[in-house]
Structure 1
Amino acid sequence: MYIEFAELHQLVHRNSLDKTLISCYCLFEMGECKKRGCTDIGFIDPHIVFKNPKPQPTWKAETEANIKMFLEKQRDKKCILFPYNFSEHWILMELDLEKGLLGIWDSMRKEQKEFQEMIDIIQR
């Protein structure tokens, strides 16, 4: 996996975490889950599903299609973890597929309206 120097520089200087670094972390955690025999947790790749600061007109349709693809591939999971970036801030969305619940883990406790668009896409 290729990580640009600028992204590593941001991490070292704690400016922000880029989606490539979060994707690396997700890949690492997927490997750790496999090693432990934990197969009921899925991950949505934040490199594929994220909100561009300058959204394209097709963003919503493409994002919805990508999430649908991820959910179909992981329909046998109990829980799916989805790191999501908006306005240079990361939250973790936890989709509990057994209970049909969506949990939001947010260290800054941003208002839900700031990421409501993604919640609406997931709920479709």
Structure 2
Amino acid sequence: MTRQITAAEAAEFFAHPSQRRGVDELALPEEGVVYWADGPVCGVFRDFCWPRVLDVHCGVKPEGWGKTVPHARAILEAVWHFYAPDLIVAQSLERNRAVLAMNRRLGFEVIGTMPTPERVVIQSWRL
């Protein structure tokens, strides 16, 4: 069941060190973000730097690894219907091939890169 959850409830999705990458799961932000969960997957959404565009990041419990697509898809669709954005974007390090591949399976398309010291790939999704 896809539902909006609190930052405290979202913490368990970011408990594994691979899901944090420099973020303290006990201090997930409560302001300026919303958390949506389905099964072992949690999507964190915030306004992007352009109106009606949402930025998404994903946390997955270890038991959901390799089985994220149906849950992540349900979250994307629920958020799309609830907020009616023009676009949802994801930003991932180019070396994070697993996330880029998952996003492709979800229907994200590469729309650009940022030439930062660690190249960042920007992908977009719409229903």
Higher helix proportion, which one? 1
Q: So what's the TM-score if we normalise by structure 2? A: 0.39
TM-score (norm 1): 0.40
